[in-house]
Amino acid sequence: MSWFIRKEKGIITPTEMKREAPDGLWYQCPNCKKIMHTREHKLNAYTCVHCNYHEKIGSEAYFGLLFNDNQFTELDADMTSADPLKFTDTKAYPDRVRSTIKKTGLKDAVRTAYGKMNEVDITIACMDFAFIGGSMGSVVGEKIARAIDHSLQTKTPFLMISRSGGARMMEAGFSLMQMAKTSAKLALLSEAGIPYISLLTDPTTGGVTASFAMLGDFNIAEPEALIGFAGPRVIRETIGKDLPKGFQSAEFVLEHGFLDFIVDRKDLKDKVSSLLQMLQ
Ligand SMILES: [Zn+2]
């Protein structure tokens, strides 16, 4: 391979001459580091074709995966957050919200919609971690409450897809009230005998786990999702002991009786719709 060895030294290619694959053509799995086509990855429900790592995705991808032909009607699409506490940390809260809206193209950390999933009419609420860590503030609580109202009015099952760091600190007590509000709405759904399925994805923690995410008629999770209330560091320091292996993984939580089953994202649509058909 002598022709392959560079004879002259110091050959520098200017940046503009370098050829690159178009952005977004390839996807590198953060778990096994293997490379695949973005298209192939998307067709595989955003899971790695080599190691089945489930990439963290948001509402746009989930709606595309679940609603037939990506057809759905969004509820309360323009609801945005107020600033009841005039809260400032490194930034004023309204500035943080505005810049996050601009950066993500989302209005808050949850989107709600209804449509058809296989043969089933369904209402789905899906959290977006990209919006301030999927934190639950007043808008998240209100949109979920209204989506449950929609389920009640139309007698369609409700699917909640959670991915959240917990309550939104910038709304303090107002965030915590959302736990009671969403739980009360879910109680009405239960009284009406309408099924509620809660899907916990990586990560689901804090006030979200402590309220609607664990109140499903079926609580299900994606493989290896981190599920917990407090973070492992806090728990370790509190109990002063090392934590067992795999602590707070979906598999661990399933084994300890807090989940009904774990579902591979590629099977999510078919499994959930056939489960709901059985319940009808
Ligand atoms: Zn992989």
125-137 pLDDT, tens per residue? 999 999 999 999 9
3-state secondary structure of 249: strand
Question: Mean pLDDT across the stretch 82-99?
Answer: 96
**Is 48 marked as binding a ligand?**
yes
pLDDT at 2 over 70: no
Q: In angstroms, what is the span from residue 36 Cα to ligand 1's centroid?
A: 9
Q: In angstroms, what is the span from residue 162 Cα to ligand 1's centroid?
A: 23
**Is 126 marked as binding a ligand?**
no
Distance set, CA 34 to CA 27, 37, 65, 223, 266 (Å): 8, 10, 23, 19, 19
Q: In angstroms, what is the span from residue 30 Cα to ligand 1's centroid?
A: 7
Q: In angstroms, what is the span from residue 222 Cα to ligand 1's centroid?
A: 15
At 219-237, the pLDDT tens digits run: 999 999 999 999 888 899 9
Distance set, CA 227 to CA 3, 140, 205, 230 (Å): 55, 19, 6, 9
Q: In angstroms, what is the span from residue 71 Cα to ligand 1's centroid?
A: 30
Q: In angstroms, what is the span from residue 256 Cα to ligand 1's centroid?
A: 27
At 228-262, the pLDDT tens digits run: 999 888 899 999 998 888 899 999 999 999 999 99
Q: In angstroms, what is the span from residue 53 Cα to ligand 1's centroid?
A: 5
Kindly report the average pLDDT of the chain as a whole number. 94
CA–CA gap between residue 58 and residue 105 (Å, rounded): 12
